A and B are shown apart, each in its own frame.
Chain A
Amino acid sequence: DAMVIQNPRYQVTQFGKPVTLSCSQTLNHNVMYWYQQKSSQAPKLLFHYYDKDFNNEADTPDNFQSRRPNTSFCFLDIRSPGLGDAAMYLCATSTRDYYGYTFGSGTRLTVV
């Protein structure tokens, strides 16, 4: 089945130690998104790629970066994780006309 896969499901990192979360998709969707979801809150968009074009949300901290080396993969880099960055990170994709949104299962990040 075509899907969005996130690895790892759980990630523990040390305060200030760079960490990378990964996402892959077999849907061949043009658009890939990264959302942050804190406990009991709605997902919040961090940024998205439309093909290779990167689009950052205005309130996304500089500490968060992203890479998309090809259509299938997208990475979320947190340069210096703080305790406040502990959250579920969700990857999603959509078609070029912004339909068919599909989410991965998420990566739960813990900062110690």
Chain B
Amino acid sequence: GESVGLHLPTLSVQEGDNSIINCAYSNSASDYFIWYKQESGKGPQFIIDIRSNMDKRQGQRVTVLLNKTVKHLSLQIAATQPGDSAVYFCADRDYGGSQGNLIFGKGTKLSVKP
């Protein structure tokens, strides 16, 4: 991920709508990607992951799409609920270059209106 600046992008959605959160990464050698949810005052919580040999993976109410051509990752949340309100981070890993360390994107703050 690319982490720059102090201002988090924000996304505001209505309860029940679908949410799409986007992330760009810069390292073409990244082979593994994770989406995390972070609530205020808590540590990042794993949502879903995807390996570079896939372009789509689905979980419960969440789908991750990977476009390696443009180095873009997205997280789709279906039927968004108030409990989904949090900051969402993407993270990517370069197994060879950085010994598997995760590099986080800047994060997106999701607000769900009831």
Contacts and interface: CB of A to CB of B under 8 A. Distances in A.
B41 A108 contact: yes
B interface: dominant SS? loop
The interface size bin for chain B is 20 to 34
A8 interface: no
Contacts of B100: 31, 94, 97-98
Interface in A25-75: 31, 33, 40-45, 48, 50, 55
Nearest to A48: B101
Interface of B: 1, 3, 6-8, 32, 34, 36, 41-46, 89, 91, 93, 95, 99-107
B1 A42 contact: yes
Interface in A56-112: 90, 92, 94, 97-99, 101-106, 108
B3 A41 contact: yes
Contacts of A43: 44, 89, 104
Contact of A42 (B34, B46, B107): B107
Contacts of B89: 42-43
A42 B95 contact: no
